[in-house]
């Protein structure tokens, strides 16, 4: 019997499918927070004084203690223009791995609100930070009138301003691919009362933890290494008592309302006029002859 050598047909032989090697997750060594009082950490007080907030909570969760450097350039009361011209260049000069930008809400509470100018500052800020090599995450805002109760005319005015602020942010982000966006309106638990401090303007400790966890999830999705998820159980902060709430109302809350009332007086008056006109157009209010 003659042996027959069988040569496989190349067209039918199966070749192993290459398995793609996953890219190693990038490590955050330097985190920078820019923006306003929320990025400062107000609402999450420490027992010995001062504030912690979402930047510190996120930093702690990114790696072992001391492994990640945190720089907070944010300033209480900062508006978007302040952030763009003072904080963003400083952040870019630091060569940070990740920059979180949280600004714009203070602008909605001022009589000279200008969505177009805010949009330009957003776009310029993102361009500067991305040129520095940083991965940037911005906060997109919720309907704060669901948290901070306001008279109807002022509520409508603030809702309109927040919508305009978000539209300006969306346009800036559309021109900067790769920028992460944490939409606070979609943040689980974001509208719950316990997520807000006594002033109803800043997140509570739990609220800051929600922000930090959401930012961490965005970083993981973008290919950054995360040591562990941010815990949502409150720990390490100062316990806020009824005495603290009362002291805030007397010492800070009432003076703040007086200052904002002076600045937003024209906005309130305009909202009242617009509300009356809308009612007349709908036939609910008879026009004055």
pLDDT tier at 286, thresholds 50, 70, 90: very low
CA–CA dist 216, 234 (Å, integer): 17
For the chain, how many residues are written?
289
Residue 120 has pLDDT above 70, yes or no: yes
Q: Is 127 exposed, middle or buried (0-12, 13-18, 19+ CB in 10 A)?
A: middle
Distances (CA, A) of 133 to 77, 94, 122, 129: 27, 10, 17, 7
DSSP state of 64: S
- Pick the closest to residue 104 from 39, 179, 152 (CA basis): 39
> Mind listing the pLDDT tens digit for each residue in 212-258?
999 999 999 999 999 999 999 998 887 765 545 545 444 554 455 55
pLDDT tier at 154, thresholds 50, 70, 90: confident
Averaged pLDDT, 165-186 = 97
Residue 133 has pLDDT above 70, yes or no: yes
Considering only residues 161 and 274, tell me which one the structure prediction assigns the higher pLDDT.
161
Residue 66 has what pLDDT?
Answer: 87
Residue 25 has pLDDT above 60, yes or no: yes
Q: Where are the domains of the chain?
A: 30-238
Residue 99 has what pLDDT?
Answer: 98
Percent of the chain with pLDDT over 90: 61
Residue 284 has what pLDDT?
Answer: 46
**Assigned CATH class of 30-238:** alpha beta
Helix-helix angle 152-174:115-131, to 10 degrees: 40
Distances (CA, A) of 26 to 29, 63, 165, 199: 9, 12, 32, 38
CA–CA dist 81, 237 (Å, integer): 31
Residues facing residue 136 across a β-bridge: 99
Give DSSP secondary structure letters for 83-121: IIIIIHHHHHHHT-SEEEEE-SHHHHTSTT--HHHHHHH
pLDDT tier at 156, thresholds 50, 70, 90: confident
Asked whether 164 and 172 are in contact (CB, 8 A), the reply is: no
């Amino acid at each position: 019997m003659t042996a027959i050598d069988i040569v496989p047909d190349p067209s039918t032989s199966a070749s192993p499918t290459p398995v793609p090697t996953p890219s190693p997750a990038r490590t955050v060594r330097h985190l920078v927070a820019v923006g306003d009082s929320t990025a400062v950490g107000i609402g999450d007080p420490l027992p010995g004084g001062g504030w912690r907030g979402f930047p510190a909570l996120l930093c702690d969760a990114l790696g072992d203690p001391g492994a990640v450097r945190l720089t907070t350039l944010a300033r209480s009361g900062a508006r978007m223009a302040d952030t763009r011209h003072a904080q963003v260049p400083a952040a870019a000069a630091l060569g940070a791995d990740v920059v979180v930008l949280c600004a714009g809400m203070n602008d909605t509470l001022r009589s000279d609100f200008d969505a177009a100018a805010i949009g330009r500052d957003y776009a310029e800020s993102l361009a500067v930070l991305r040129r520095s090599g940083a991965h940037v995450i911005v906060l997109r805002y919720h309907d704060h009138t669901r948290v901070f109760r306001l008279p109807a005319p002022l509520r409508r005015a603030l809702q309109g301003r927040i919508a305009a602020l978000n539209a300006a942010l969306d346009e800036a982000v559309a021109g900067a691919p790769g920028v992460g966006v944490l939409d606070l309106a979609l943040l689980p638990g974001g509208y719950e009362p316990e997520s807000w401090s006594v002033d109803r303007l800043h997140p509570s400790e739990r609220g800051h933890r929600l922000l930090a966890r959401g930012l961490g999830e965005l970083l993981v999705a973008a290919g950054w290494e995360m040591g562990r998820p941010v815990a949502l159980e409150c720990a390490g902060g100062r316990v806020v008592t009824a005495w603290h709430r009362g002291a805030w109302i007397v010492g800070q809350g009432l003076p703040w309302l007086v200052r904002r009332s002076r600045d937003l007086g024209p906005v309130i008056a305009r909202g009242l006029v617009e509300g009356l006109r809308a009612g007349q157009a709908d036939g609910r209010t008879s026009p004055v002859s």
